[in-house]
């Protein structure tokens, strides 16, 4: 099976492994300290953890060095990012929810620079990351790649359904804490009202740390913009973030790339998005081997890729 033609519409260069940074085939530079290998996590299937970093980045590439591993979860995310850039006009707007250090935002910005069409003039990137440490890394990652954070919207907060604060466990080691899930709202009443770090001491002397973090709704995030791509990895809150705002999705969002975390979530998203007229490009199920045109792929997160034909010609 040939690779999608969209990859050839960008100037790709061989991956570089330097002592302090990794440089991918689109030129994005990533500091080593932002992530850690998952090869030691024995609870994960070997074919999943082999080469995967804690951020979800696949550290294994195709033999040519200018393409992601095929098939791989990153491969399908790259397709969505590159197709979004390739289809954009003079403006390119992207939102990443659960952004970590802003990996896919920077990948998209580098793709804009390397697009052989070269027609995009204005780029606006929005990243929401609940962990304050990783949100600070997002600023650094932008600067490391020649982007001014002040020209974009990079926030230490979460996406939510109604603007309520969320409670998040505080990871002792931020580079290993990707995948933290917000706690239920019942925890709110048991914790102080201040936004920031909250330490709770139990009767047995154990201390647990939490963040109380702000949340924004999709309309607050998007404003009046047309969004070329929303990339979502919010650890089980996908439906909460999207379902309350069908008109924003219908009228303002061209593409979605969603990492899914449960079968019921996948079913609800399919019902929601097909009902809004979105067309699925790829639907891969979480925690199982999915057949693809390039061979089987064992997915840690499910993958849903959607296009809105009302805003994007298919």
Reported as a single tens digit per residue, the pLDDT across 72-84 is 999 999 999 999 9
Same domain, 182 and 36: no
What proportion of the chain, given as a percentage, has pLDDT over 70? 85
Same domain, 52 and 145: yes
107 is a domain residue: yes
42 is a domain residue: yes
| Helix ranges, 89-204 (H) | 103-114, 132-144
User: For residue 251, what is the domain's CATH number?
Assistant: 3.40.50.150
Instruction: Domain count for the chain, please give it.
Output: 2
Phi/psi of residue 38, nearest 5 degrees: -105, 15
Same domain, 259 and 232: yes
The rounded distance, in Å, linking the Cα atoms of 240 and 230 is 15
Same domain, 189 and 287: no
Q: Is this prediction's pTM over 0.95?
A: no
List Cα–Cα distances, 199 to 169, 180, 240, in angstroms: 10, 17, 27
313 is a domain residue: no
Contact 230, 257 (CB under 8 A): yes
Same domain, 126 and 235: yes
Last residue of a domain, one of 213, 228, 251: 213
Last residue of a domain, one of 213, 231, 251: 213
Same domain, 171 and 133: no
Question: Does residue 218 register a pLDDT over 90?
Answer: yes
- State pLDDT tens for residues 244-298: 999 999 999 999 999 999 999 999 999 999 999 999 999 999 989 999 999 999 8
The rounded distance, in Å, linking the Cα atoms of 65 and 14 is 5
271 is a domain residue: yes
Phi/psi of residue 130, nearest 5 degrees: -70, -35
Same domain, 137 and 23: yes
Same domain, 209 and 230: no
- State pLDDT tens for residues 123-163: 999 999 988 888 999 999 999 999 999 999 999 998 999 88
Same domain, 156 and 32: yes
Same domain, 53 and 185: no
Q: What is the average per-residue pLDDT within 199-219?
A: 78
Same domain, 141 and 271: yes
314 is a domain residue: no
Last residue of a domain, one of 213, 244, 271: 213
In terms of residue numbers, what domain contains 22?
5-164+214-307
312 is a domain residue: no
Helix pair 103-114, 73-87: axis angle to 10 deg: 50
């Amino acid at each position: 099976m040939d690779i999608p033609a969209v990859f050839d519409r960008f100037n790709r260069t061989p991956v570089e492994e330097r002592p302090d940074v990794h440089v991918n085939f689109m030129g994005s530079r990533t500091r080593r300290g932002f992530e850690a290998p998952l090869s030691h996590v024995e609870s994960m299937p070997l074919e999943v953890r082999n080469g995967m970093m804690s951020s979800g980045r696949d550290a294994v590439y195709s033999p040519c060095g200018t393409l992601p591993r095929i098939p791989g979860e990153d491969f399908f995310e790259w397709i969505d990012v590159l197709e979004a850039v390739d289809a954009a006009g003079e403006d390119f707007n992207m939102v990443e929810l659960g952004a970590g250090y802003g990996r896919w935002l920077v990948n998209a910005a580098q793709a804009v620079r390397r697009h052989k069409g070269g027609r995009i003039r204005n780029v606006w990137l929005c990243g929401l990351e609940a962990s304050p440490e990783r949100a600070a890394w997002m600023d650094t990652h932008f600067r490391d790649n020649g982007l001014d954070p002040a020209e974009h919207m990079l926030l230490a907060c979460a996406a939510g359904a109604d603007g309520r604060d969320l409670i998040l466990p505080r990871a002792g080691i931020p580079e290993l804490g990707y995948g933290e899930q917000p706690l239920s709202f019942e925890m709110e009443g048991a914790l102080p009202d201040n936004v920031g770090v909250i330490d709770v001491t139990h009767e047995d002397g154990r201390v647990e740390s939490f963040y109380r973090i702000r949340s924004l709704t999709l309309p607050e995030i998007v404003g009046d913009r047309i969004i070329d791509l929303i990339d979502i990895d919010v650890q089980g809150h996908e439906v909460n973030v999207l379902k309350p705002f069908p008109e924003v999705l219908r009228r303002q969002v061209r593409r979605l790339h969603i990492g899914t975390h449960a079968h019921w979530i996948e079913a609800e998203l399919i019902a929601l998005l097909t009902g809004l007229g979105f067309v699925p490009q790829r639907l891969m199920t979480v925690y199982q081997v999915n057949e693809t045109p390039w061979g089987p792929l064992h997915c840690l997160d499910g993958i849903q890729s959607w296009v809105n034909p009302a805003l994007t010609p298919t």
